[in-house]
Amino acid sequence: MDCVCGHSFAKEVLERLRNPQGNESGSNDCDGFLLVRNRDYQAFLASEQRVLNAESESERLRCVSESAQYAGNVMVCPQCSRIVVATATSEEDGLSGSYRRED
């Protein structure tokens, strides 16, 4: 997902995977939060438990994929400070997009 200012969160995540220690300025971390719809929370927790209990790597990956269907993200753009919302249900809920703080 990209912010309207052009910042690429996907590129940032890839950079973090390539360089987990961060860059020299220490600003390699995307400030983000997991977003789970209230009515999906119990199912999400159960799916996360299945991830923890998986007995093989292939089972774990399948469980992670299942769990990811419940998870969205709220991220703070490091370039423009917009709040970028990516819900698990995407466009159908009308919430995904970017928002500016009012203060």
Question: Residue for token digits 């390539």?
Answer: 18
> Using the rule CB under 5 A, which residue among 30, 74, 80, 83 binds Zn ion?
80
Q: Is residue 100 at the binding interface for Zn ion, with CB under 5 A as the rule?
A: no
Give 37's contacts (C-beta < 8 A, 6+ positions apart). 70, 87, 88, 89
Q: Is residue 77 at the binding interface for Zn ion, with CB under 5 A as the rule?
A: yes
HSE of 72, CA atoms in CB hemisphere, 13 A: 19
> Using the rule CB under 5 A, which residue among 2, 5, 42, 45 binds Zn ion?
5
Q: Is residue 9 at the binding interface for Zn ion, with CB under 5 A as the rule?
A: no
Binding residues vs Zn ion (CB under 5 A): 3, 5, 7, 77, 79-80, 82
